[in-house]
Amino acid sequence: ASVAKLVANIMGVKFENKERSVAVVMCHARGVKNKFTYNGIKDCRAANIVGGGFLGCDYGCLGLGTCVEACKFEAMYMGEDDLPRVIEERCTACGKCAAVCPRKLISIVPESKMVHVRCKSLDKGAVARKICQDSCIACKQCEKICPYDAIHVQNNLAVIDYNKCTSCGKCVEVCPNRTIINFARERSLTRHTVTV
């Protein structure tokens, strides 16, 4: 930060000490079946155009790696489950991965925020649960338990206000489908197992 402050002074601009941000993939897509077999080009944008995408969940990750290809910092890779993973140490939060995702599943969030809703489905609870075992079912348990008023269900989906969230984890504990997760554990696993 001291070097950045010095550069800002030399350039005659105001220094802002912003928290580092990282990309987060907001989808688990576990147990989701395909609607049909897709044989087109390996690009999520193209696959999303064909019949609204081949995945049983209209909001879930298509897993073709368009975001990984877009990352010029080699900060993403495809996991064994065909879902993209972020190597946070390499992520610059440039947003290119988020920009190419046709389903808007990648968010750029402050690195210190550990609790995330890993679902973007707007389907009603009963429908969502039949499609994906990790989907948000809009039960509002998270909303009821949050002591900071930082999470609310909007359009059948839990949404976190990162300005209010302290990452206390109370919502994680009550989420029946493990849709809301604490990234502290996932981050430590990623840091110790990645060999790209």
pLDDT in tens, 24-74: 999 988 779 999 999 999 999 999 999 999 999 999 999 999 999 999 999
Asked if 63 contacts 82 with a C-beta cutoff of 8 angstroms, the reply is yes
Region 87-107: mean pLDDT is: 97
Query: How far, CA to CA in Å, does 33 sit from each of 36, 54, 70?
Result: 9, 9, 26
Question: Does the CA dihedral 128-133-57-163 come out positive or negative?
Answer: positive
Largest CA distance in the chain: 58
Q: Which residue has the higher pLDDT, 51 or 100?
A: 100
At residue 185, the pLDDT reads 59
Asked if 78 contacts 63 with a C-beta cutoff of 8 angstroms, the reply is yes
pTM of the predicted protein model: 0.84
Q: pLDDT digits over 151-190, tens only?
A: 999 999 999 999 999 999 999 999 999 999 998 756 555 5
The domain segmentation of the chain, as residue ranges, is: 20-193
Hey, which CATH number is domain 20-193, 3.40.190.10, 3.30.70.20, 3.90.1150.10, 2.60.40.1120?
Answer: 3.30.70.20
